[in-house]
Amino acid sequence: MKLAIVGVTGVVGREMLEVLSERKFPFTEFIPVASEKSCGKEISLDGKNYEIISLTKLLERDIDLAFFSAGREISKTWAPKLAAKGVKVIDNSSYWRMRSKNKLIVPEINGEGLSINDMIIANPNCSTIQLVMALAPLHKKFVVKRAVVSTYQAVSGTGKKAVEQLKNEKNKIDAEMAYPHQIFQNVLPHCDDFTDNHYTKEEMKLTNETKKILDKNIDVIATAVRIPVSRGHSESVNITFEHDFDLDEIRAVLNQMNGVTVLDNPSKNKYPMPINTYKKDEVFVGRIRKDFTQSNTLNIWIVADNLRKGAATNTVQIGEYLIANNLL
């Protein structure tokens, strides 16, 4: 099992190293890949140092599996080159997600749809992953018709530059900005670029990716907001079902979902918060309550570490699924 990580020096790439170590991913050879400025430097995994190489050099190597987290343009250009050599690619960028020939995978939900012929597999957007992890079991039981989502997204979802902006502003350091406005002590109703329909790309990802992963008949409408938190995305979700439910049923269904943890005891101040989810792989759900203004409608609060299940962990889990099912 010869494994490469493309974009190994980035925020998600470094998180992948931790997840590989924690989950004891069964590689026999590891090849770290990054931009030319990082080539020749070393990176550590499980106490061993590995020299970083370029994508050009990677093409000359014999590998089985590559995790990509280097942006859509790198994925667009290089993933097909590796796939043509017989390398399985699991891509964390947005480029392949909505292409009809590429699977968009959350292993607990639709991993069984993978086949040995899938050479480039897309990892969903971080905010989508935590949403569908909660929606999937509820949809199976009660049939989701519509979800209204408001997100509260950490700056690490933008990348290293945004994390640095938050730190610099907190420390009153004037430096380069990732956002058009201050993020420290502020809230930006602006995640990614705006599109022609006045929604941002991030908001449309929640709509389109949920339909592709779960059911094209589910309507999702979102407002995506950036908050001054380093890591951990939160979502307030209002869900309308085809069938009626009671709250005990909802909790039971969520508790039975692998990878979901119900944390819901408001009387004792127990509910999910980003600080609870740091470096954890589960998706946490709380504030479970009926919408008393609409029939068959539920309000829930979903929180997950966007760099873990929202990115690195889901990527590694797809790799584990391929290995376990002899799909490499």
Residues annotated as catalytic are: 126, 233
Angle between helices 11-23 and 313-324 (to 10 degrees): 50
- Please give the sequence-ordered ranges of beta strands (E in DSSP) within 54-175, or none if there are none: 65-68, 88-91, 120-122, 144-153
In the DSSP assignment, the letter for residue 188 is B
Q: Which residues fall within 8 angstroms of residue 159, CB to CB, at 6 or more apart?
A: 10, 11, 178
Task: With beta carbons less than 8 A apart as the criterion, state whether 189 and 180 touch.
Answer: no
Nearest CA among 113, 58, 127, 68 for reference residue 95: 68
Distance CA 87, CA 83 (A): 5
Terminal alpha carbon distance of the chain: 9
Could you tell me the two tokens for 39? 């080539």
Q: Please identify which residue in the block is written with the tokens 């058009």.
A: 180
Nearest CA among 248, 285, 290, 242 for reference residue 139: 242
3-state secondary structure (DSSP) of residue 65:
strand
* Dihedral over Cα of 200, 204, 206, 209: its sign: negative
CB < 8 Å & 24+ apart, contacts of 47-52: 52/8, 52/9
Q: Which residues fall within 8 angstroms of residue 121, CB to CB, at 6 or more apart?
A: 88, 89, 90, 91, 96, 102, 103, 105, 114, 318
Could you tell me the two tokens for 121? 């597999």
Element (H, E) at 82: helix 72-84
